Amino acid sequence: MPRYAKKNILALLLFLGGLYFFIHSNFLISGPTRSDKLIANELTWQTERLVGKESWVEQGDYLPLNVSYQLLAGAPSTQQRYLSVGLASVKRKKGSYLIATLQSLFSQSSPEERSSMVVVVLLADFDDSWRVTTASEIKTTFASELEQGQLVVLHVPQDVYPPLKDLKRNYNDSPDRVSFRSKQNLDYSFLVHYSASLGRYYLQIEDDVFSAKNFLSTIRRRVEEQEAKKTTWAMLEFSALGYIGKLYKSAHLPLLARFLFLFYQEMPCDWLMSRFRDLMTQKEPIHFKPSLFQHMGTFSSFQGTHNKLKDKDFEEQYTNPSAEVYSDMSTYKKQFPKLAWDAGEGFFWGRSPEEGNYLTVVFTDPTVVTGIFVETGSGGKDLLESAQVEIGHEVINTEKEEKSCKEFQTVGTLKHGRFEIQEMDKKYSSASSCLRIQVTAGQKEWLILKKIRISTKLSTPPHQA
């Protein structure tokens, strides 16, 4: 390149450098302007925020989710409760279960439990007349609960929702199905967002379930047990079904609301929740049995299709008759035989049973047994492979200082570790005093006797799976 061309280029660079210096000399001489100060302050604030002792989640400092709520009935208490219970309801083509669901929640709770919770109902249908009628029915039926701040009824206007048509079809669902499940995700997002400050914990259910007796006390006990383990958890499950009986920490609800909102068209809500649990570093589901909530609906909220879905682990308030329980099988630790008879999650765990071993239930009062249900094993293991179920009459004392019956009748045998019989009174009409499970062949595997449930003429049917 010619020498004069290089000199021209150098002169041009010097000129541009001088011009830049002149333009910015005001800043160098006078210091930062007001806008510069704002930028510096903003950066300082962001730095403090990032290195603060509490995370954004713990501070509750989130990007706002702009939702306009219409309060249709009730008003939340200014005092935080232990538990908020959320459910969204839409107009169904067949049947309606909302009122029955609310009645179950309140009737299955003691006065102390009701005062420790608030139920939040989102009427999520855009049919104005249905909302007015439903809200009016709720006001009439639950006037006391509304007055005491135990029940709140909401609606979110349609214009708040993002698009619900022409959405992604990730699983080749029909467009109607995609729209339905996507709107459901948004319903839950808005519901969760509203409930974030109402209780220490949040329970998600659906509008067609009934509850076990004193479910709140059971949840409180399970939470205390889980917290004592000092392990990470984001979701506790009190039902095996879909989006029923799922418990969250309220501190996580703002994140959950935004998660459901951001990915509303990607997949159904129960699948999203599995992803959320994983992201919150809970590796495996934590599912408690028996389940505290049972699906009661016969028809789905989507197009009124028939729905027979039931939770096999649900026990509403089952109580066997008063009895004493005896067994000659070796017990592992404190997993005593009577735990299989009593309601709850307890079970009898015995070492390898031998032929002739027994577990005998002696009723306090003779009773006409109408049904028997026996379940053994856990996860396909520790099944009782060979045994027969018998009923007995005339209580006697044995040489082992136990009670038993003088004679027994066989009513059936276990198959694949289970036994169930109904309408026994048509064949065995007289009152029984004993029930016995007798091992008919020894096995090397240990035995879990999970539950023994009977029904009588005065009691409800035993649990059926």
Q: DSSP readout, 103-153?
A: HHHHHTS-HHHHTTEEEEEEE----HHHHHHHHHHHHHHTHHHHHTTSEEE
User: Does 308 reside within a domain?
Assistant: no
CA atoms of 229 and 34, how far apart (whole Å):
53
Tell me, yes or no, whether 353 and 401 share the same domain. Answer: yes
Does 153 share its domain with 240? Answer: yes
Cα 132 from Cα 167, distance rounded (Å): 30
Residues 235 and 169 both lie in one domain: yes
Is residue 265 situated within a structural domain?
A: yes
Single-letter amino acid code for the residue at 450: K
219 within 8 A of 237, measured Cβ to Cβ: no
10 Cβ neighbours under 8 A, 6+ residues apart: none
Q: Domain range for residue 240? A: 70-295
Which pLDDT does position 364 carry in this prediction? 92
Asked if 116 and 142 sit in the same domain, the reply is yes
The residues, ordered by sequence, that sit 6+ positions from 370 with a Cβ below 8 Å of its Cβ are 422, 423, 424, 425, 455, 456, 457, 461
d(CA 96, CA 81): 29
* Residues 241, 380 within the same domain: no
Q: List CB contacts of 375: < 8 A, sequence separation 6 or more.
A: 417, 418, 450, 451, 465
- 92, 23: one domain: no
Q: Is residue 302 part of a domain?
A: no
pLDDT of residue 342: 83
Question: Could you tell me the maximum CA-CA distance found in the chain, to the nearest angstrom?
Answer: 125
Q: Which residues of the chain have pLDDT under 50?
A: 20-40, 42-54, 56, 299-306, 458-465
Structure tokens at 142: 């639950």
Spell out a b/e string for 144-164, using b for 16 or more CB atoms within 10 Å of the CB, else e: ebbeebbbbbbbbeeeebeee
CATH number where 431 lies: 2.60.120.260
Instruction: Evaluate whether residue 65 is within a structural domain.
Output: no
249 and 347 share one domain = no
At residue 384, the pLDDT reads: 95
Tell me the residue type at 98: L
Query: How many other CB atoms are found less than 10 A from the CB of residue 266?
Result: 16
Q: Is residue 380 part of a domain?
A: yes
Q: Tokens in use for 6?
A: 């290089």
Q: Do 87 and 228 belong to one domain?
A: yes
Retrieve residue 160's tokens. 């708040």
Measure the CA–CA gap between 430 and 407, rounded to whole angstroms.
14
- Cβ–Cβ under 8 Å, residues 373 and 420: yes
Strands 117-123 and 209-211: unpaired
Q: Which of 295, 313, 341 is the last residue of a domain?
A: 295
Domain annotation covers residue 203: yes
pLDDT at 331: 93
SS3 72: strand
Who contacts 242 (Cβ-Cβ below 8 Å, separation ≥6)? 206, 269, 270, 309
Looking at residue 395, its pLDDT comes to: 95
Q: Judge if 34 and 150 occupy the same domain.
A: no
For residues 331 and 396, membership in a common domain is answered with yes
CATH code of the domain covering residue 238: 3.90.550.10
Q: Which residues contact 301 (CB under 8 A, 6 or more apart)?
A: 90, 92, 207, 208
**Considering the domain boundaries, does residue 374 fall inside one?**
yes
What span, in angstroms and rounded, lies between the C-alpha atoms of 117 and 249? 14
Q: Which residue has the tokens 């249905």?
A: 130
For residue 153, CA distances in Å to 132, 140, 156, 201, 454 come to 11, 13, 11, 19, 40
Q: Please tell me whether residue 236 adopts helix, strand or coil conformation.
A: strand
**In a shared domain, residues 113 and 247:** yes
| Contact (CB, 8 A) for 303 and 177 | no
Alpha carbons 448 and 451: distance in angstroms, whole number? 9
Residue 446 confidence (pLDDT): 95
- Residue in 421, 398, 422 with CA at minimum distance from that of residue 324: 398
Please count the structural domains in the chain.
3
Beta strands at 246-249 and 199-204: parallel, antiparallel or unpaired: antiparallel
- Per-residue tokens: 127: 């049919």
The residue among 161, 27, 143 whose CA lies nearest residue 90 is 161
* Cα distances (Å, whole numbers) of residue 233 to 81, 247, 280, 284, 378: 21, 10, 8, 9, 23
Strand ranges across the sheet with 199-204: 70-73, 151-155, 117-123, 81-89, 199-204, 246-249, 236-237, 286-287
The pLDDT of residue 102: 92
Q: Indicate whether 20 and 157 sit together in one domain.
A: no
Identify whether 280 is part of a domain: yes
